[in-house]
Amino acid sequence: MTGSGLVDLTFEECVERLESRAIGRVAVVVDGYPLVLPVNYRLVALPGRRYWVAVRTRPGGIIDRAATHVAFEVDEIDRDQREGWSVLVRGTLHRVDEDSADFASRYDPHSWLLDEPTVWMVIDAFQITGRELHQPGGRWELELS
């Protein structure tokens, strides 16, 4: 841990935190500028410490039309304690045929927009990193005599 209270998470800690959540944010570039959108997701473990982040989106929507290189982020913040963590996934976005390998029933992230038409996308992660922020040095208590 540095004096700032920042500590890098291990790969395993990052995966655990990704598995513990169902909503994250995907970052794409639209018209030359970054855009961040909330999505329901599910982490998919592949052989060899590889992972996909599976998401559902609308056909023709922003994520469906996004460029290949994307980022994905989940976090938790405690404003009162001024602590938190963040996990970042960098990868490539791919459209998936939901009939292949029974994808829909195996990896459904259970979108909140269940009645919408669906396109299945995965982010094939090439990097997963994370950091945690703690109060540096703990809290100071004042004793009055």
Give, for all 145 residues of the chain, the pLDDT tens digit. 445 688 999 999 999 999 999 999 999 998 889 999 999 899 999 999 999 999 888 889 999 999 899 999 999 998 888 899 999 999 999 988 766 766 666 656 566 655 666 788 899 999 999 999 887 655 544 455 4
Give the CA angle between residues 74, 79, 23 to the nearest 5°: 20
> Does 145 reside within a domain?
no
The pLDDT assigned to 45 comes to 92
> Does 141 reside within a domain?
no
Q: How many CB atoms lie within 10 A of CB 30?
A: 12
> Does 144 reside within a domain?
no
The pLDDT assigned to 5 comes to 82
> Does 128 reside within a domain?
yes
> For residue 93, which of 59, 122, 114, 65 has the smallest C-alpha distance?
122
> Does 34 reside within a domain?
yes
Task: Determine the structural domain holding residue 124 and report its residue range.
Answer: 6-133
CATH code (residue 125): 2.30.110.10
Q: Which amino acid is at 133?
A: L
> For residue 72, which of 17, 115, 128, 119 has the smallest C-alpha distance?
128
> Does 103 reside within a domain?
yes
Q: Which amino acid is at 14?
A: C
The pLDDT assigned to 141 comes to 46
pTM of the model: 0.82
> For residue 44, which of 124, 143, 112, 136 has the smallest C-alpha distance?
124
> For residue 122, which of 57, 71, 52, 73 has the smallest C-alpha distance?
52
The pLDDT assigned to 119 comes to 81
The count of domains in the chain is 1
The pLDDT assigned to 4 comes to 65
> Does 143 reside within a domain?
no
Q: Which amino acid is at 73?
A: E
